[in-house]
Amino acid sequence: MRYITFLSKQRVHLIFLTAILLISGPLAYGQETKEFIYGDALPDAPELSVRGTYKVGVRTMDLVNPNQIDILNVKEGIAPLYDRPLKVEVWYLFGT
């Protein structure tokens, strides 16, 4: 350790120990946790976010509201009509 003349041996050992702890800390934490499944509650999730006995489903639907006034294109008192698109997501529960 010729190149480290200004540091004592204790300081060098402390630096290496700190580096090892910083590197191994997250690795050890990752090993203790179970495998994450998309949709699982994160560790900081609220108490009521745990999985229940019901399954949850979601469906995305594209609806159309026909013959709506196109207020952006009104000219000279004439209001054109258009079919207004509406994307809806419906969440639902179903039993086990």
- Over residues 38-81, the pLDDT tens digits come to 767 777 878 877 777 788 889 999 999 999 999 899 999 899 99
Measured CA distances, 77 to 17, 71, 73, 82, 87 (Å): 78, 11, 10, 16, 30
Amino acid at 76: E
Tell if the pTM clears 0.95, that is, is over it: no
Residue 14 has pLDDT above 80, yes or no: no
Domain residue ranges in the chain: 9-42+52-94
Identify the pLDDT of residue 90.
94
